[in-house]
Amino acid sequence: MKLDLVKLADEESIEEIMGFYMGDNTLERQNFIRANLRSEEELEDVNI
């Protein structure tokens, strides 16, 4: 598991962010996950 620092703009709220990541599996969330999925082969080329 990799931890990344998250910075919030003044207009963002942690409740909304956590609701997105931990909440219902909405179409918006599904699309975000699909757009950011990476295969193991893709990750081998990245130093993480």
The whole-model pTM stands at 0.47
Rounded CA Rg of the chain: 14
- In the chain, where are the structural domains located? 14-44
Residue 31 pLDDT exceeds 70: yes
Mean pLDDT of the region 12-19: 86
What does the pLDDT read at residue 5? 85
Q: What is d(CA 14, CA 30) in angstroms, rounded to the nearest whole number? A: 20
Is residue 33 within 8 A of residue 27, CB to CB? The reply is no
- The pLDDT-based confidence of 47 (bands split at 50, 70, 90) is low
What does the pLDDT read at residue 17? 83
SS3 39: coil
